[in-house]
Chains A and B, each alone.
Chain A
Amino acid sequence: MSEKKKLRVATTSLAGCFGCHMSFLDIDERLLTLLELVEFDRSPITDIKHCGPCDIGLIEGGICNVENVHVLREFRKNCKILIAIGSCAITGGLPAQRNHLDLGSCLTEVYLTEPGLAHGHIPNDPELPLPLDKVHPLHEVVKIDYFIPGCPPSGDAIWKFLTDLIAGKTPELGHGLIKYD
């Protein structure tokens, strides 16, 4: 009998801090159990640069620049199930706290008028992706199938969610694992 086909999983961090990825690694030795069920496509774990067809995509961080939008769309195109993981992906999070401010004045204050920045200039290297006017949660740009809240969600929460999902159940976190902070 053929071995059960492994699920292909891609992960990325957009306007996030990699905290959710660190928390993902906090599932510790359960990572080995997970690796019997899944294999990784594009992810900081594999260093594959573009996402191919996948069963599950996990995205940390919201959308703050043009490149984030492209990556998010690439994931949506390739992943059957797309999961927003962490506060930033779900609410915009800390980066979205600039949303009520004017982007131009934010950049001016950070790079030009802050004391000690007498010779500062606003970075304009063509390699840098253009920032968006506002930071957005993922679900405002593409359809998101599931959300794992938390800043970051604990390794246990991520484990519970993924194992529920892989087992074909509606993922539930429950008291102690569902956290917004």
Chain B
Amino acid sequence: MSDTFHLDGVEVKFEHGQTVLQAALAAGKYIPHLCYHPEFKPHGSCKLCTVKIGSRTAASCTMPAETGLEIESGIEELNALRRTLVQMLFAEGNHFCPSCEKSGNCMLQALGYDLEVHTAGFRHQYPDRPLDASHPDILLDFNRCILCELCVRASGEVDGKNVFALSGRGATKHLIVNAASGQLKDTDIALGDKAMQVCPVGVILKKRIGFSIPIGERRYDQRPISAQALDDAPRKPAGAKP
């Protein structure tokens, strides 16, 4: 007999050690999420995956699945919260989608589409975050960083290089490059690194391929993120080789 919990009234089977989000995705049930990546230990920072258990709320990507839980996710109360979170992320960075190479392949944008976010609503902060174009093959556009730490973990845990780190606290928290000069050209990052593949938004970009797939023909132009999240573990951009 396997263990089960209920998600929006539907029975979901899980294996021990799985989180609520992992079990839900494995069972073909979508819960919106952003900082979770199937190949990494959940980080629980974006809170997009928040669900309700009775009167409590919890991040489903870090919450261990347990027998008998009654979990709500697809309710307007939670989607309204998720919309606000997406709006705050848009307002605190510089997200000019029309000129972003990641547009159409971006998880933050795709979540905005799915949740029908029509505006950031808040006062835009327009922070000053200079680019790092020092590396011959890689561009860093910090304006779009959502501090999910995926690149930090990929570079440390998989590539064994520790190219990236988060520095500062609270509102001053930001992504830095681990080099005396602070510049990417002075690190040993390489195009084949895991850290090059994990950014859910448009920060870590391979140079000279920006618009090789036209806007409108990209991954989330084709199908909504809620449909695609169930298909795959790593997030391949549309048209990329497996």
Contact B100 A181 (CB under 8 A): yes
A180 to chain B, nearest CB (A): 4
The answer to whether B96 touches A137 (Cβ under 8 A) is no
Q: With the chains together, A176 CA to B94 CA distance in Å? A: 24
- CA gap between A21 and B139 in the complex, in Å: 34
Q: Is B118 an interface residue (CB 8 A)?
A: yes
Residue-by-residue, is A78-98 near B (CB-CB < 8 Å gives 1, otherwise 0)? 000000100100111110110
Q: How far is the CB of B108 from chain A (nearest CB, A)?
A: 10
Q: Complex formed: what's the CA distance from A147 to B122 in Å?
A: 13
Q: Cα distance A92–B215 when bound, in Å?
A: 21
A111-143 CB contact bits vs B (8 Å, 1 = yes)?
000000000000000000000001001011000
Q: How large is the interface on B (under 10, 10 to 19, 20 to 34, 35 or more residues)?
A: 20 to 34
Interface residue from A90, A144, A181 paired with B104 (Cβ < 8 Å): A181
CB pair B120–A99 under 8 Å, yes or no, is no
A97-B96 contact, Cβ under 8 Å, with A180-B103, A180-B112: yes
Q: A147 CA to B153 CA in the complex, in Å?
A: 37
* Min CB gap A74→B, angstroms: 22
Asked whether, in the complex, the Cβ of B99 is within 8 Å of the Cβ of A91, the reply is: no
Contact partner of A99 among B95, B119, B126, CB < 8 A? B126
Q: Does A27 contact B (CB under 8 A)?
A: no
Contact string against B for A residues 133-167, beta-carbon threshold 8 Å, 1 for contact and 0 otherwise: 01001011000101111010000000000000000
CA distance A137 to B125 in the complex (A): 11
A176 vs B220: C-alpha distance in the bound complex, in angstroms? 9
A179 within 8 A of B: yes
Q: Say yes or no: B103 contacts A96, CB within 8 Å.
A: no
Say if the beta carbon of B73 comes within 8 Å of chain A.
Answer: no
CB distance from A145 to the nearest CB of B (A): 11
How far in angstroms is the closest Cβ of chain A from B226?
Answer: 9
Q: How far is the CB of A102 from chain B (nearest CB, A)?
A: 11
* A residues contacting the other copy or chain, number (CB 8 A): 30
For A100, the closest partner residue in chain B by CB is B128
Residue A178, interface by CB 8 Å: yes
Give bound CA distance, A91 to B224, whole Å.
23
Q: Does B97 contact A (CB under 8 A)?
A: yes
Residues of chain B with a CB closer than 8 A to A174's CB = 116
Find chain A residues with CB under 8 A from B99 CB: 94, 97
Q: In the complex, are the beta carbons of B97 and A175 less than 8 A apart?
A: no
B98 near A137 with CB under 8 A, answer no
Alpha-carbon gap, A176 to B99, bound state (A): 19
Cβ B119 vs Cβ A147 within 8 A: yes
Query: B103, A149: Cβ atoms under 8 Å?
Result: no
Question: Could you say which of B119, B129, B224 contacts A139, with CB atoms under 8 Å apart?
Answer: B119
Chain A, Cβ-Cβ closest to B103? A181
Q: Give the Cβ gap from B198 to chain A, nearest Cβ, in Å.
A: 22
B215 near A181 (CB under 8 angstroms)? yes
Expressed in whole angstroms, the Cα–Cα distance for A174 and B121 within the complex equals: 19
Contact yes or no, B224 A175, CB < 8 A: yes
On whether the beta carbons of A87 and B97 are closer than 8 Å, the reply is yes
13 A-B contacts (beta carbon < 8 Å): A90-B120, A91-B90, A93-B98, A97-B96, A97-B99, A134-B126, A137-B120, A147-B118, A175-B224, A178-B118, A179-B221, A180-B95, A180-B113
Chain B residues with a Cβ under 8 A of chain A: 90, 94-100, 103-104, 109, 112-114, 116, 118-121, 123-124, 126-129, 215, 221, 223-224
6 extra interface residue pairs, beta carbon distance < 8 Å, beyond A100-B94, A181-B103: A90-B119, A96-B126, A134-B126, A139-B119, A175-B224, A181-B215
Closest 10 pairs (CB-CB, A-B): A151-B98, A180-B97, A100-B128, A147-B118, A99-B126, A147-B119, A181-B103, A181-B97, A175-B224, A178-B113
